Structure 1
């Protein structure tokens, strides 16, 4: 089924890895169509599903109607009923990101003849194509090769073609080291009959030939170095597009769609740019741009005032574009108006525009738009039928008991100094490294080992997107809640200067606070994501002075009560993403790794929790930082889940108080920095 649109003959079947064809083919003359013919085509996009197949919160063990592919399917069916002509594509980060995904990849691994749950659900509705996101590489190339049904000429991959999705996957900028060829088809052709109308209103059935080409973020080589180093190489998205565009144009497609797992960045282009959509839109021949990776909506206000970007109608440098959210919360829709001119289809930009359809349309609450679970579209029952059995197996697995706890571990106030959800992660990382490091680096025996962790769930996905492990029985589900991503443990060696630079980068999470300003000042810098706010423990202590500019905020940095000197040596335990350059932390680019563990941090944490069957405060490192005292004339504010003020006080944050409830499960809090 993957090959049907390429119309390959036996003579060119061997050219699959170089695209649908690596040599010119003989084609019959295209059908002569009357000038002025018009057709409306809906291009539908999902992206960053992260294997959220069902509307379910695995960590809170309850339904969550605000996310899930089963509800996106309802919107897909609505779009298909509304538009006579439609195509459906996926922009990547599809197979990783939920308990269900980890269960099938790491616990009860599926065999070659089984199809991954997320792909079964997608096949149930029917897709026309997709690309590969950065998180597709998290489980390694052999797994990716298997579950996508794509034999790859890389170490460990099974040359056998296994069960994969029933739609073509394209990826133009990742090549095998062995032969220099793409590990996926870089592009392919999707062809179908569409309904079109003559100027007098007569309907015709005519062919539409669409070329799709895919791209993933080049920084995968840093983010997943342990899975990719020495096996593949990556090229920039513009370079890859320019390489394959002549091949694509030789097939005379009516439209060329670039499916990019990436967003928009107008800074100076480089081949390793993470979000190269703005530059990709400028490659001659690309007609439409489908985007992802940034976990946001385009068109949308985040992209207001960006050069040559229409954040209202959805254009990037004159190219229709869309980015359809994340976790199945939205469906991207481009209403493409085509008109036949001079023997080819042209896009009528006066009638073409993009939208993002939410599964939960906002409602007005307290005078502001807010998401309400009561206003979400219903789930499509066909999806649950496709995956219900493996879903239940995954739920049963994560409820495996691993111990007891007398402490509450939450991330509601992780940005304000509550380290309860990070302390067990850092304790487990430090313990593991102290045991494993001497075997490979005996010269580092006696060097202080510190743990670095960030709160992965800090409300980005809504009021339920926080870690919250209550006192009582602990299960594997709690370990997954405390450590959200399937990273592996990695330790690096840094000096005192490097440690301070690390903390300074983390402190960019906050805005600079003006003590003389009246009115409200937001504490959090929304442009700096929460998972890059590393908090370090293990005998180190430091103070963050928010009155100072970024890069000069860490004061009173000590280790065991003594000031840290620039030349002092430390081993800091983090994850493979951070150690290899993720987040652009100074001095972290993979060169100073001293331990690259084969074990995942989540699994290390679960074993540590099992070794502490009655976990109490005495087993956890104390909080290591606080804000410098700062008396402000105005109010410093931040947002968290509503009605958690008592929890803040319990965790020692007595300067935090709830100001107002937003009516959507969140609230605005004030923090008094003078205490």
Structure 2
């Protein structure tokens, strides 16, 4: 009944009176905002926190002021004080990656009514939204469903809604096999009031409507195959954006922010591209791009030569973008300058820019930017209060004794042939497979079993980012230091040709060295990550000739002293990431897996160490490779932690010499390849 007909007269019945009372009033029309209105909005981003909540090194058991979300919070508060209008988002890889994370997921599992420590910490400062990274899937979908408070229509998960973070999580490209629907909300709308200014300087409080849409890297189906196969499917980031943007635009948002757990690659696009940010920025309708996953900064020099990328002001194909580091080391900040034109908010790109704020601003030492712990911002005092009890419980747990070692196991020179930190991992993997294979695959009972491991901590995160287990008591912390990730064990069957191809791929860790060059040559190829430098042990021996081009570097490959033939069969024990295609190694795509253990590699290693309560050198496999002899006219150099030459000497690398200290905890070493 039209409202205008409702007149209170004696002729109206009580029913009609009730109908009048229930009539909806016309919605107040939104007041038109003046043209030329301006507003500055800060879009703040964290990414790849990896549950590094406090500034603490669990492996060395000491404070580490160069990382930790508690210091990022200090920057968040600073940004909120500097910008009247701000929004805070997280780009994933949040719940995994520290001893504390493993403790809550695998040891003292939290209940449905409890909130995960990292989410409690994030809620303490207040977030507006976030997305899901690849490492969120490491502990399985039931755990992810529980700790994010997101019931999923997926096998093995509960329909019960548990306690999750107090901000929305969005993910548009991971769908349930059961119903084809996203396991998280693909997108959501955030309505806020912001302060804006008229051309004459008057301040107004006006509405701003932001849509956020999230994306995980499509290769999760390889990396976490054992957790995801048959349960979810993944679509490319561009395809997912194109699917949901019409729905989003129907809500008439002022801005659309894409939150991608991925970086940038402008190679030809494929739906399974790991770092699709460059292509996502080109999808019409995306106004702002937040990135992660690559553990680097944008804006930053790594992307300086990429087409249509402004690495100084932070634009990707004309879209403001940021990627804010990792481990709580940085805060990504986009300063959006908005102006009202033709009844719409428009980004004024001439006044918009992105920055990455470090918790430890570098200072110049000998002409080089250097991070000093004394220059780091203070930790926010509120965060330790939130997680103090569970932090101490995790520390107590990893100090559980498991044995004794007479061997120093370190990764300071893992790239140069020191396998002391890899040998126990390979020994444990080989031992496990040799016991499990005869019953699982009797036909492989007599097949040689090899172990493959990579040094996960080789200085990428700074001078303390190395494994270093000293002689003396061993604890669960030692096992966590030796094996950093919560991978499970897998074994693959390959032939001699595939084994050589595996090693050739790994040898891309090195630059090609020109023996005739007189200047310094860098040994390590920084574009090839350390965790993809697999080193294989178990009776094989090989030589790496860095003077040869990639693909031709493995020479004199033998097994028990005899040359390996192309048709010779081996079982290589590795982790689920590598066996399922992680790193794009030739011949490794999940189809030749002969053993997929339910056990974590770290737990397998801990049990092996317990079986060797007094570990000595003879318990460990010998180093399996060395560099081919090469006389060079100029020095071949690499970087490691400073003052570690004695470690190299003790472990038999007598051709390494420290040549200069960088003043930041690292040093340049020269390696004499002629010896």
TM over 0.5: yes
Corresponding position: 1:589 with 2:589: yes
Corresponding position: 1:474 with 2:474: yes
Instruction: Name the counterpart of 1:217.
Output: 217
- 1:121-177 deviations in whole A, cap 9, x for unaligned? 000000000000000000000000000000000111110000000000000000000
User: CA separation in 1, counterparts of 2:438 and 2:238?
Assistant: 45
User: CA separation in 1, counterparts of 2:432 and 2:645?
Assistant: 35
User: CA separation in 2, counterparts of 1:159 and 1:312?
Assistant: 47
Instruction: Name the counterpart of 2:539.
Output: 539
- 1:298-339 deviations in whole A, cap 9, x for unaligned? 000000010000000000000000000000000000000000
Instruction: Name the counterpart of 2:652.
Output: 652
Specify the structure having the higher radius of gyration (Cα): 2
Instruction: Name the counterpart of 1:295.
Output: 295
Q: Give the drift of 1:367.
A: 2.4
Instruction: Name the counterpart of 2:674.
Output: 674
Q: Give the drift of 1:369.
A: 1.1
Q: Give the drift of 1:366.
A: 2.2
Q: Which runs of 4+ in 1 moved over 3 A?
A: 26-31
- 1:628-664 deviations in whole A, cap 9, x for unaligned? 0000001000000000011101100000000000000
User: CA separation in 2, counterparts of 1:27 and 1:202?
Assistant: 27
User: CA separation in 2, counterparts of 1:187 and 1:154?
Assistant: 20
SS in 2 for 1:498: helix
Instruction: Name the counterpart of 2:260.
Output: 260
Instruction: Give the TM-score normalised by structure 1.
Output: 0.96
Instruction: Name the counterpart of 2:521.
Output: 521
User: CA separation in 1, counterparts of 2:145 and 2:27?
Assistant: 32
Corresponding position: 1:421 with 2:432: no
Instruction: Name the counterpart of 1:638.
Output: 638
Q: Give the drift of 1:28.
A: 7.1
User: CA separation in 1, counterparts of 2:371 and 2:581?
Assistant: 35
- 1:386-405 deviations in whole A, cap 9, x for unaligned? 00000000000000000000
User: CA separation in 1, counterparts of 2:118 and 2:412?
Assistant: 30
User: CA separation in 2, counterparts of 1:438 and 1:248?
Assistant: 55
Corresponding position: 1:406 with 2:418: no
User: CA separation in 2, counterparts of 1:245 and 1:32?
Assistant: 25
- Tell me, which stretches of 5 or more residues in structure 1 are unaligned? 1-25
Correspondence list, 1:387-402, <5 A: 387-402=387-402
Instruction: Name the counterpart of 1:175.
Output: 175
Correspondence list, 1:556-571, <5 A: 556-571=556-571
User: CA separation in 2, counterparts of 1:186 and 1:235?
Assistant: 12
Instruction: Name the counterpart of 2:619.
Output: 619
Corresponding position: 1:504 with 2:541: no
Q: Give the drift of 1:365.
A: 1.5
Considering only aligned residues, what root-mean-square deviation do their CA atoms show, in Å? Answer: 0.8
SS in 2 for 1:350: helix
Instruction: Name the counterpart of 2:20.
Output: none
User: CA separation in 2, counterparts of 1:27 and 1:261?
Assistant: 39
User: CA separation in 1, counterparts of 2:442 and 2:520?
Assistant: 52
Instruction: Name the counterpart of 1:452.
Output: 452
Corresponding position: 1:141 with 2:141: yes
Q: Give the drift of 1:198.
A: 0.1
User: Structure 1 28/48 Cα, relative in aligned 2: closer, same or farther at 3 Å?
Assistant: farther
Q: Give the drift of 1:104.
A: 0.1
- Tell me, which stretches of 5 or more residues in structure 2 are unaligned? 1-25
User: CA separation in 2, counterparts of 1:116 and 1:78?
Assistant: 26
User: CA separation in 2, counterparts of 1:546 and 1:74?
Assistant: 46
Instruction: Name the counterpart of 1:327.
Output: 327
- 1:270-323 deviations in whole A, cap 9, x for unaligned? 000000000000000000000000000000000001000000000000000000
User: CA separation in 2, counterparts of 1:517 and 1:643?
Assistant: 27
Instruction: Name the counterpart of 1:39.
Output: 39
Q: Give the drift of 1:363.
A: 1.1
User: CA separation in 1, counterparts of 2:259 and 2:367?
Assistant: 38
SS in 1 for 2:427: helix
- 1:526-561 deviations in whole A, cap 9, x for unaligned? 000000000000000000001100000000000000
- 1:428-467 deviations in whole A, cap 9, x for unaligned? 0000000011111000011000000000000000000000
Instruction: Name the counterpart of 2:86.
Output: 86
Q: Give the drift of 1:29.
A: 5.1
